[in-house]
A and B are shown apart, each in its own frame.
Chain A
Amino acid sequence: MRATHSIHGGIHPVEAKALSAPGTVLDAGIPDKLVLPLSQHIGRQPEVIVEVGETVKGGQVLALGDGPMSVPLHAPTSGTITAIDDRAVPHPSGLTNRCIELSCDGNDDWVALEGLANWREIDRTALISAISLSGVAGMGGAGFPTAVKLNSPATQPIRTLIINGTECEPYISADDTLMQIDAPAIVEGAEILAHIVNAEEILFAVEDNKPIALAAMQEAVDASESNCRREVMSFPTKYPSGGEKQLIEILTGLQVPSGGLPAHLGIVCQNPGTAVAVREAILMGKPLTERIVTLTGRALNKPGNYRVRLGTPISHLLAVTAFDPKDNQRLIHGGPMMGFALESSDVPIIKTTNCVLVPTEQELPTPPPAQACIRCGLCAEACPASLLPQQLYWYARAKDQEQLEKHHLFDCIECGACSWVCPSHIPLVQYYRAAKGSIVDTRAEKTRSDRSRDRFEARQERVERELAAREAQRAARRAAAQKKAEQGADDDPIAAAIARAKAKKQTAEDPLGAPAGNDES
């Protein structure tokens, strides 16, 4: 096996992964109603193409992707569309967003699906569009449309495909479970992905706290044929080794440059869940409508990894996992490090939900109030991106955007290691998130105001030009009139008009004249 490298910083929080018993998948069943948010990925919201009252079958398209940075949404089972409105969605803001409500009929009828069994002979653009049409978005947590990630320009050839089965965040064991039970599907999905990006090698990355998954992956790799060089790589457990840039450094020793993408190094990373979704999309034509979710925490009596249809309300899952309300303090979407608290249990599971954590107060105590920074420097030691969290903290408080950018705020992966080690319990990551948001807003405002300035100036110029043109016309007319006047009084248009009017009046007064009444009235 190739030697792995190590990254700066990192922490070793309590893993608590055994709680959700990785290796077994339970079925969460079909709830009465599914709530499907239109935005389950990064990018544009897809456009709804169904109406309230319409009956749909499983796999039917409910909303079509709007442009390349958007993926469609499919019905996870059969039933009737009962509402299209704004509902609470899994988002740290607790705000609502457009959702489709599907009342399930329980029959789970599906539309006929058609796969592309001969994918090796099919053009990569056709495969990428098949993946996009199946609604696949990164299932590791960020939800980046997979098709966009695979569609790297010819100037940036991809050499290495990494299947990121690190799953370094405590409690979560969804990818571990998938690797244990479905390793051959992951390997085949990776094969399809490698074919699409034309990669030379595939690296399967698994942390060494998942020996069963590691063995299963190795076995699946040994049992299958491939045109690529393949390797299952294991490395010491440390949080956050699963961050894309961190993992690349661990596996290859290369650092993704600040502000750069893995594609700049000829690398693309995909989650094992995404690999399986891609395999199903290509081989069976099956859209992404379900995923494995770790439902865990000591407030649940039946924690575990569940196969959940997208749109399943968390309240349904709490019932399935025999949730004990008296112990519960919080409902967390994601893991304990990077997840966020949900305000309501009505929010649904979406494509990026890898875990729902329901801890007891004892298990995950509410953080004590923040105290003053004592400049101990533990955060700088823990930062996996080699940043200076303390400096960033001061600048975020001072709202000094220039210094924040100089100190590479945007290289922060928001892993939470700095907050975790902070003896003063300062919620550092929240400072960085807020600072990032305000910098993004400031940049957008700057672009807007630059455009407005250009438009204002262009308009001013045009108005002046029009005024000048009108002035010139007026001057020309005046000059012409003057010229005419100079030519002789005979031609005086006013005198001529008076003469004409007099003549007309005379004719009108004369009763024997022309039949004036007709044209005058």
Chain B
Amino acid sequence: MSFIETQPLLAALIALLGLGVTFGAILGFASIRFRTEGNPLADQINQILPQTQCGQCGYPGCKPYATAIADGDAINKCPPGGQETIDALADLLDVESMTLDAEHGEEKAPKVAYIREEDCIGCTKCIQACPVDAILGAAKLMHTVIADECTGCDLCLDPCPVDCIDMIERKTGIQHWRWELPSDNLIASDRAAA
């Protein structure tokens, strides 16, 4: 008579315990060996955020906000991204989409900073404020914005002691014009009213 037949209960317990220990060891090893660096969800969220680095969400940049969202913060605090970003985030996180939180600002057309060069006194304050190093210049020398790199975050406006920075609209002119989607279907009887 074998052990299994004489002590079926004990045999089952031993077998289950053995399986538990084995799988636990495998999982434990895997969690150390295949550990993911950083926070993959925050990275995915960061991919969706517009990278304006404007801080309107209350965090010092897009990445900190992405981490905060991953930890459960609201997804509607990003005015530069607008509704599109909120929808994309809702899609990614599988939560209900919401409208932009007006407390953090409103959705505006993309802007680019422009320094009125005759007024600039060369104080370098805007250079230190720019989150993406898009302002060029040196102390007591005129500064200028690298328009292609400017995210339009507004952060350079406040530090400027002589108010020589304007925010101008980025996408104007014929090159940026796009066809619009036709308006929704109208049936003949609606047309008279339209």
Contact = CB atoms under 8 A, between A and B. Distances in A.
A110 interface: no
Contacts of A440: 178
Contacts of B46: 453
A456 B132 contact: yes
A364 interface: no
Specify the main secondary structure of chain A where it touches its partner.
Answer: helix
Interface centre among A426, A433, A434, A456 (most CB of B within 10 A): A456
B50 interface: yes
Interface residues of B, number: 29
Nearest to B80: A449
B182 A427 contact: yes
B182 A368 contact: no
Contacts of B177: 91, 93, 95
A437 B188 contact: no
A438 to B, nearest CB: 7
Interface stretch (A12-20, A133-141, A369-377, A508-516): A369-377
Interface residues of A, number: 40
B73 interface: no
A449 B50 contact: yes
A66 interface: no
Given A452-B53, A456-B131, A459-B131, A369 B186 contact: yes
B38 interface: no
A396 interface: yes
Interface in A414-464: 426-427, 430-431, 433-438, 440-441, 445, 448-453, 455-460
Contacts, number: 86
Interface string B165-187: 00000000110011111100111
A502 interface: no
Contacts of A426: 182, 185
A474 B138 CA distance: 25
A97 B174 contact: yes
A456 B53 contact: yes
B180 A434 contact: yes
B179 A92 contact: yes
Contacts of B133: 455, 458-459
Interface string B38-69: 00000000100111110000000111000000
Given A91-B174, A97-B174, A459-B132, A452 B179 contact: no
A89 interface: yes
Contact of A371 (B51, B62, B132, B185): B185
B149 interface: yes
B185 A456 contact: no
A372 B186 CA distance: 9
B62 A453 contact: yes
Contact of A372 (B62, B151, B182, B185): B185
Contacts of B62: 453, 456
Contact of A397 (B181, B186, B191): B181
Contacts of B131: 456, 459
A433 B179 contact: yes
Contacts of B50: 445, 449
B134 interface: yes
A89 B132 contact: no
B56 to A, nearest CB: 15
Given A95-B173, A452-B132, A459-B132, A438 B149 contact: no
Contacts of B180: 430, 434
A96 B172 CA distance: 11
Nearest to B183: A370
Interface centre among A440, A450, A457, A459 (most CB of B within 10 A): A459
Interface of A: 39, 89, 91-93, 95-97, 368-372, 396-397, 426-427, 430-431, 433-438, 440-441, 445, 448-453, 455-460
Q: Which 3 A-B pairs have the closest CB atoms?
A: A437-B178, A433-B179, A449-B51
18 contacts: A95-B174, A95-B177, A371-B185, A371-B187, A371-B188, A431-B181, A434-B178, A437-B179, A441-B178, A452-B149, A452-B151, A453-B51, A455-B149, A456-B53, A456-B61, A456-B131, A457-B63, A459-B131
Given A370-B185, A433-B179, A449-B50, 12 more contacts: A95-B174, A368-B188, A369-B186, A369-B187, A369-B190, A426-B182, A434-B178, A434-B181, A452-B51, A455-B132, A456-B51, A458-B133
